[in-house]
């Protein structure tokens, strides 16, 4: 049935059916007629790839919403080899960037529609100033963000070690810059010892940022074993320095606990990593020279200190030698005078000791005369104290008896009062005790009609019932 409907519709149609190729040809002709010239467009590059055999560059142009970041438009793009061979070096020279994905570009394109490959944009020209302006804006935004977060100058504030001998190096192990760095460092003419540990990283290409951050993460657990971190890159195109303008790499370097020294190997404006690093040098060999200079400066200071210590020690020794010589001259005279002084003191003491027996006898006689008087005075004082103590003892005994008698009388009165206040005593005097539900009734208002009560007498109790309202 569906086939018959289709067949009837086809038979009634005034047009002959066309192939897909014919339809696409019509679409292409319509596009060429409607959009015959070239147009300058703003877009972002994506999925950029160059065919190594043909030299053609294939990519996608995308447009993103300014606020959400969502892709709102996308188109295939082509740069033919003869055009790409001119545009790529021109773009790189003007912007310092290789033509790659993720760049905002202003390109001159024509709209093409191929029967087999469909809609695409053919690039004829490019305005590097637009991309350069965007890159400058991105750099400024990253620098401002680092400053607002308070991390831009953190690494520069770290104290630089006096003797930077233990060095963590982040670079490619196959880079010529690394060999130049170690060769100059280890062959320094002063013979300063250095310890270098390589933490390999990719220093060129799209993986540079991720690889260098990973190397920093590997250094971090051993930060106490190093004095500085050296980030060097030798050779290569300056266009591949964009990785060192990234926020993630810059913020890692800025917050690293060791001073970071960069020698990325370029003469143009500093990268953002250069800006946040503790010290920026131009090349790996310049970094090595800087470290040797630091050691030399401290060694010179130590040598000056050694010279001053030696000079001061020599001067002090000369002064002490002069003092000793003076003492050696004066010593015999001083000793003779000292001996004579003590000899005179001995004579005086000898004379005094000769009178000592007589003085002792005089003191003994005086003590003999004083002893009886002291004995009598002591006996008299003891007798007076005994009489006083007897009087106090008698007074205390009388006072204690009086207090006991008073308390005994008070206790008897309290017992009598308690006895008179007891329920048994009150009942014996003719009073009764009315209780309701096990509780004493104190007021007439506490009773109602039909309440059952118990009346207690001195010789027993009786149950009752309230017969009327009170």
Is 161 a domain residue? yes
Query: In angstroms, rounded to a whole number, what is the distance separating the alpha carbons of residues 283 and 270?
Result: 12
Q: How far is CA 164 from CA 160, 173, 224, 392, in A?
A: 8, 21, 13, 92
Model confidence pLDDT, tens digit, residues 149-183:
999 999 999 999 999 999 999 999 988 889 999 99
Sign of CA dihedral 65, 69, 70, 76: positive
Last residue of a domain, one of 298, 329, 352: 298
Model confidence pLDDT, tens digit, residues 393-420:
888 888 888 888 888 888 888 888 787 7
Name the 3-class secondary structure at 88. helix
Task: Examine the domain organization and report whether 121 and 200 are in the same domain.
Answer: no
- Write down the pLDDT at residue 262: 96
Name the 3-class secondary structure at 18. coil
Reported as half-sphere exposure (CB side, CA atoms, 13 A), residue 366 has a value of 6
Task: Examine the domain organization and report whether 157 and 117 are in the same domain.
Answer: no
Last residue of a domain, one of 140, 159, 192: 140
- Write down the pLDDT at residue 235: 60
Nearest Cα neighbor of 46 from 37, 57, 55 is 57
Query: In angstroms, rounded to a whole number, what is the distance separating the alpha carbons of residues 431 and 443?
Result: 15
- Write down the pLDDT at residue 136: 81
Query: In angstroms, rounded to a whole number, what is the distance separating the alpha carbons of residues 215 and 245?
Result: 17
Query: In angstroms, rounded to a whole number, what is the distance separating the alpha carbons of residues 397 and 403?
Result: 10
Task: Examine the domain organization and report whether 266 and 155 are in the same domain.
Answer: yes
Last residue of a domain, one of 298, 316, 340: 298
For position 82, which CATH number holds? 2.40.50.140
Task: Examine the domain organization and report whether 75 and 34 are in the same domain.
Answer: yes
Is 415 a domain residue? no
Helix (H) or strand (E) holding 453: strand 452-457
Is 285 a domain residue? yes
For position 255, which CATH number holds? 3.40.50.10550
- Write down the pLDDT at residue 470: 54
Helix (H) or strand (E) holding 305: helix 284-354
Query: Can you give the residue range of the structural domain that contains 159?
Result: 151-298
Task: Examine the domain organization and report whether 179 and 99 are in the same domain.
Answer: no
Task: Examine the domain organization and report whether 175 and 91 are in the same domain.
Answer: no
Is 348 a domain residue? no
How many domains are contained in the chain? 3
Whether 159 contacts 258, CB under 8 Å: no
- Write down the pLDDT at residue 315: 76
Q: Which residues contact 84 (CB under 8 A, 6 or more apart)?
A: 50, 55, 56, 57
Nearest Cα neighbor of 281 from 314, 259, 303 is 259
- Write down the pLDDT at residue 184: 94
- Cα dihedral 33→37→38→40 (10° resolution): -90
Query: b/e string for 342-381 if b means 16 or more Cβ within 10 A?
Result: eeeeeeeeeeeeeeeeeeeeeeeeeeeeeeeeeeeeeeee
pLDDT lower than 50: segments of the chain = 1-8, 10
Q: In degrees, to the nearest 5, what angle opens at C-alpha 40 toward C-alphas 42 and 107? A: 65
Task: Examine the domain organization and report whether 92 and 212 are in the same domain.
Answer: no
Is 3 a domain residue? no
The sheet carrying 433-436 orders its strands as 439-440, 433-436, 452-457, 460-465
Is 223 a domain residue? yes
Model confidence pLDDT, tens digit, residues 223-257:
999 999 999 987 655 556 778 989 999 999 999 99
Query: In angstroms, rounded to a whole number, what is the distance separating the alpha carbons of residues 180 and 292?
Result: 14
Sign of CA dihedral 164, 168, 170, 174: positive
- Write down the pLDDT at residue 87: 93
- Write down the pLDDT at residue 6: 43
Nearest Cα neighbor of 29 from 152, 113, 154 is 113
* 120, β-bridge pairs: 112
């Amino acid at each position: 049935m569906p086939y018959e409907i289709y067949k009837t519709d086809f038979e009634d149609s005034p047009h002959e059916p066309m192939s897909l190729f014919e339809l696409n040809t019509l679409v292409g002709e319509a596009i060429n007629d409607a959009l015959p010239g070239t147009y300058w467009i703003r877009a972002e590059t994506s999925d950029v790839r160059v065919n190594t055999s043909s030299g053609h560059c294939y990519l996608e142009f995308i447009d993103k919403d300014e606020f959400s970041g969502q892709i709102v438009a996308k188109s295939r793009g082509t740069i033919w080899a003869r055009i790409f061979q001119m545009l790529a070096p021109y773009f790189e020279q003007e912007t310092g960037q290789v033509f790659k994905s993720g760049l905002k570009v202003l390109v001159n394109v024509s709209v093409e529609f191929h029967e087999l490959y469909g809609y695409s944009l053919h690039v004829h020209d490019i305005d590097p100033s637009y991309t350069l302006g965007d890159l400058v804006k991105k750099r400024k935004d990253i620098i401002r963000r680092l400053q607002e977060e308070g991390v831009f100058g953190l690494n520069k504030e770290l104290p630089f070690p006096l003797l930077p001998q233990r060095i963590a190096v982040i670079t490619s192990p196959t880079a010529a810059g690394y060999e130049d760095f170690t060769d100059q460092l280890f062959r320094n003419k002063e013979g300063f010892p250095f310890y270098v540990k390589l933490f390999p990283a990719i220093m060129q290409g799209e993986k540079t940022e991720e690889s260098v951050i990973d190397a920093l993460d590997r250094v971090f657990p051993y930060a106490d074993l190093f004095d500085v971190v050296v980030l060097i890159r030798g050779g290569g195109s300056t266009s591949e320095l964009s990785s060192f303008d990234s926020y993630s790499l810059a913020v890692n370097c800025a917050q690293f606990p060791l001073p970071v020294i960069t020698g990325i190997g370029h003469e143009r404006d500093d990268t953002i990593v250069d800006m946040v690093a503790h010290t920026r040098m131009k090349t790996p060999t310049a970094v090595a020279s800087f470290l040797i200079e630091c050691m030399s400066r401290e060694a010179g200071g130590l040598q000056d200190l050694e010279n001053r210590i030696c000079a001061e020690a020599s001067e002090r020794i000369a002064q002490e030698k002069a003092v000793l010589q003076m003492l050696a001259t004066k010593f015999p005279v001083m000793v003779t005078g000292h001996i004579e002084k003590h000899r005179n003191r001995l004579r005086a003491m000898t004379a005094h000791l000769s009178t000592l027996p007589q003085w002792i006898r005089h003191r003994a006689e005086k003590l003999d005369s004083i002893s009886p008087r002291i004995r009598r005075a002591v006996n008299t004082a003891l007798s007076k104290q005994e009489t006083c103590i007897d009087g106090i003892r008698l007074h205390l005994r009388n006072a204690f008896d009086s207090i006991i008698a008073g308390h005994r009388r008070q206790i008897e009165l309290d017992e009598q009062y308690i006895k008179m206040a007891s329920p048994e005593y009150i009942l014996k005097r003719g009073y009764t005790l009315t209780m309701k539900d096990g509780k004493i009734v104190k007021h007439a208002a506490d009773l109602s009609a039909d309440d059952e009560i118990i009346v207690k007498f001195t010789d027993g109790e009786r149950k009752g019932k309230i017969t009327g309202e009170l």
